């Protein structure tokens, strides 16, 4: 394969082709190389899709849940890349063309891992900042509600003596009115009784 790009893409890996090893020389088994490169291209596509999913993950849902989900996805991505690196390390004595592609694939996998880690760290930082902001807003609203409730309570308590005094005055006025009516009715009844007795 000639003209290998500095930065591999999944299409580059899928389209990699090698010259057959000369008879008697050592090199890769063609089917194994093709299968491995197919796995590398698939992993590169998966990591790219995972990056897009991580970018889309910041939505209106709970920041704490997003934070835990992002941490889990980052750990899974790291585990997959470690498995890929372990698979790369099992290949020994490569031919001249395949060695360059394998090294480039390993380097590209490392680059993808670094990108995933950076993006996950950015997303975790944003989610943490958003969670802190939401908590701060909630605490501010709660303190405002408590302050308003205390102020209202103080106003009601301050108004109670005046309302009590007004109620007592009203009770006294009603008693006086009741006494007057009672005396009036008693006098009227007494007068009628006297008139009846006299008649």
The pLDDT tens digits of the residues spanning 96-107 come to: 455 666 677 777
Please answer whether residues 71 and 124 qualify as being in contact, where contact means their C-beta atoms are separated by less than 8 angstroms. Answer: yes
What pLDDT, in 10s, does the model give residues 116-158?
Answer: 888 888 888 888 888 888 888 888 888 888 888 888 888 888 8
Rounded alpha-carbon distances, angstroms, from residue 154 to 29, 61, 132, 163: 87, 39, 33, 14
DSSP assigned state of 16: -
Residues 6 or more apart in contact with residue 130 via CB below 8 angstroms: 58, 63
Residue 86 included in any domain: yes
For 63, the token pair is: 């920041």
Confidence of residue 178 (pLDDT cuts 50, 70, 90): very high
Predicted TM-score (pTM) above 0.75: no
- Structure confidence by residue, pLDDT tens digits, 40-93: 878 788 887 877 777 666 555 556 666 767 777 777 877 777 777 666 666 544
In a domain, 111, yes or no: yes
Per-residue pLDDT at 174: 93
The boundaries of the domain holding residue 35 are 10-148
| Strand, coil or helix: 3 | coil
Looking at residue 1, what is its pLDDT?
Answer: 39
Residue 60 in any domain: the answer is: yes
Q: In which residue are the tokens 């849940």 written? A: 65
Q: Name the nearest CA neighbour of 27 among 88, 103, 97.
A: 97
Q: How many domains does the chain have?
A: 1
For residue 194, CA distances in Å to 22, 128, 197 come to 149, 95, 5
Does residue 170 form part of some domain? Answer: no
pLDDT for the residue numbered 107? 75
Taking each helix axis from N to C terminus, what angle separates 30-56 and 63-89, rounded to the nearest 10 degrees? 170
In a domain, residue 178? The reply is no
Say whether 114 sits in a helix, a strand or coil. helix
Q: What is the pLDDT of residue 57?
A: 65
Residue 15 lies in a domain: yes
**Is 100 among the domain residues?**
yes
Residue 58 lies in a domain: yes
């Amino acid at each position: 394969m000639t003209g290998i790009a500095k930065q591999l893409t999944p299409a580059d890996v899928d389209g990699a082709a090698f010259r057959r090893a000369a008879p008697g020389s050592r090199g890769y088994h063609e089917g194994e190389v093709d299968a491995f490169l197919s796995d590398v291209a698939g992993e590169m596509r998966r990591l790219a899709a995972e990056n897009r999913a991580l970018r889309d993950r910041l939505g209106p849902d709970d920041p704490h849940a997003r934070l835990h989900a992002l941490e889990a996805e980052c750990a899974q991505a790291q585990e997959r890349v470690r498995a890929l690196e372990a698979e790369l390390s099992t290949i020994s004595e490569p031919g001249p063309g395949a060695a360059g592609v394998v090294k480039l694939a390993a380097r590209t996998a490392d680059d993808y891992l670094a990108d995933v880690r950076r993006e996950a760290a950015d997303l975790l930082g944003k989610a943490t900042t958003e969670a802190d902001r939401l908590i701060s807003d909630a605490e501010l609203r709660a303190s405002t509600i408590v302050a308003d409730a205390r102020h209202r309570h103080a106003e009601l308590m301050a108004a109670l003596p005046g309302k009590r005094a007004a109620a007592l005055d009203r009770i006294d006025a009603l008693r006086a009115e009741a006494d007057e009516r009672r005396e009036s009715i008693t006098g009227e009844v007494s007068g009628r009784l006297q008139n009846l007795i006299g008649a």
